[in-house]
C-alpha cells in the first residue's frame, strides 16, 4: 500500500503545495474587512467619548455607538484570525475563522426564516425597540439623529402612531409636565415643503393636543412600523439582493479558508510521508 502511494507521487518531492494565490487572496480579503472593523470601533469609541456617559447609560441597549463598537470588535477578532491564519498557514486560526463565518451565516439565515414565519412576533419586537428608542430620544444624540433620519425618510411619526411620543418625558401630555415641548412631537415628524430652506424645529409644537385630521395637515400621523412593513413588502427583491450581497463575502471567506486548510493538511501529510520513508529505505 505504501509502495503504491509512493509510486503515485512519483518521488519524495512535494507535489502538494499551498497555493500562494489562495493564501494571499484570503489575506487581502480579510485585511479589507479588518480595516473596516477598526474604523467602526474608532467611530464608536469617538461617539461614546463625546457624549456625557451619565446621560447615555439609561439608553445603553439602544445606543448606536455601542452597537457599532460591538460589531466592530467581533469583526476585528474574526478577520484577525483570517489574516494571521492565512499568512502563518495556521490551521487552528483558519478553522476558527471558517467556523465563525459558518455560525454567523446560520444565525442570519435562521433570523430571516424565523422573522418570516413569526412575522407578528418580529413586528412586536421591533415595536418594543422603537418605543424604547422614543423613550430615550433626548438622552442620546446619535439615537436622536437616527430617529429623526428614519422619520424624515419614511414620512412617519412614532412607532404605531404619533401619540407614542407622549411616552417620552419631554413630550408627555400630562398637565404636570413642565417641559416646553409638552404634547409636541419632534420636528422630523413635520410635513416639510420642498421650498422650505430653513427647518422650523418648532413645527411639531402641541400637535398631540390637536384633532387627528388637523394634526395630519402639519405632521405625519402614521406610525413608522406600518410604513416600514409596507416598505419591506414593496422592496422584497431589493432587500433580498442586499441580503445576498452580505452573504457572498461570508461564503467566499468560508470557501477560501476551507480550501487553504485542505491544502495545508495535504502538504503536512505528504511531508510526514516523505520524512518517514526517507528515514526508512526498506519501506
Q: Confirm if 191 and 258 have CB atoms less than 8 A apart.
A: no
pLDDT score of 53 more than 60: no
* Global confidence as pTM: 0.64
State residue 6's pLDDT score.
41
pLDDT score of 64 more than 80: no
The larger pLDDT score, comparing residue 157 to residue 213, is at: 157
State residue 270's pLDDT score.
83
Mean pLDDT of 169-182: 91
State residue 8's pLDDT score.
40
pLDDT above 90 covers a percentage of the chain that reads 36
pLDDT bin (cut points 50, 70, 90) of residue 261 is very high
Q: Confirm if 179 and 172 have CB atoms less than 8 A apart.
A: yes
Q: How far apart are the C-alpha atoms of 80 and 94, rounded to whole Å?
A: 10
State residue 266's pLDDT score.
87
State residue 102's pLDDT score.
94
Q: Of 10-24, 35-49, 185-199, which gets the smallest average pLDDT?
A: 10-24
pLDDT in tens, 14-36: 455 778 898 999 999 999 999 99
pLDDT in tens, 108-154: 888 878 777 777 777 788 888 888 889 989 887 878 888 999 999 89
pLDDT score of 244 more than 90: no
Q: Is 126 exposed, middle or buried (0-12, 13-18, 19+ CB in 10 A)?
A: middle
The larger pLDDT score, comparing residue 192 to residue 34, is at: 34
Q: Confirm if 40 and 71 have CB atoms less than 8 A apart.
A: yes
pLDDT score of 76 more than 90: yes
Amino acid at each position: 500500500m505504501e509502495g503504491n502511494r509512493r509510486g503515485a507521487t512519483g518521488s519524495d518531492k512535494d507535489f502538494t503545495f499551498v497555493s500562494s494565490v489562495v493564501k494571499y487572496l484570503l489575506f487581502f480579503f480579510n485585511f479589507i474587512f479588518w480595516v473596516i472593523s477598526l474604523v467602526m470601533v474608532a467611530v464608536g469609541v469617538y461617539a461614546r467619548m463625546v457624549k456625557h456617559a451619565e446621560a447615555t447609560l439609561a439608553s445603553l441597549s439602544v445606543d448606536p455607538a455601542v452597537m457599532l463598537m460591538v460589531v466592530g470588535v467581533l469583526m476585528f477578532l474574526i478577520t484577525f484570525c483570517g489574516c494571521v491564519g492565512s499568512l502563518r498557514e495556521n490551521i487552528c486560526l483558519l478553522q476558527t475563522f471558517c467556523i465563525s463565518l459558518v455560525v454567523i451565516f446560520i444565525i442570519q439565515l435562521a433570523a430571516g426564516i424565523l422573522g418570516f414565519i413569526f412575522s407578528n412576533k418580529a413586528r412586536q419586537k421591533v415595536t418594543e425597540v422603537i418605543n424604547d428608542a422614543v423613550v430615550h430620544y433626548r438622552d442620546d444624540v446619535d439615537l436622536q439623529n437616527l430617529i429623526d433620519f428614519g422619520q424624515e425618510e419614511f414620512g412617519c411619526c412614532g412607532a404605531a402612531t404619533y401619540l407614542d411620543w407622549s411616552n417620552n418625558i419631554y413630550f408627555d401630555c400630562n398637565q404636570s409636565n413642565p417641559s416646553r415641548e409638552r404634547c409636541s412631537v419632534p420636528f422630523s415628524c413635520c410635513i416639510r415643503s420642498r421650498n422650505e430652506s430653513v427647518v422650523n424645529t418648532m413645527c411639531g409644537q402641541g400637535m398631540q393636543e390637536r384633532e387627528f385630521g388637523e394634526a395630519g395637515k402639519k405632521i405625519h400621523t402614521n406610525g413608522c412600523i406600518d410604513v416600514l412593513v409596507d416598505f419591506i413588502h414593496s422592496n422584497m427583491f431589493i432587500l433580498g439582493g442586499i441580503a445576498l450581497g452580505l452573504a457572498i463575502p461570508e461564503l467566499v471567506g468560508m470557501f477560501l479558508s476551507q480550501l487553504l486548510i485542505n491544502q495545508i493538511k495535504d502538504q503536512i501529510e505528504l511531508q510526514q510521508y516523505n520524512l518517514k520513508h526517507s528515514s526508512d529505505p526498506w519501506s
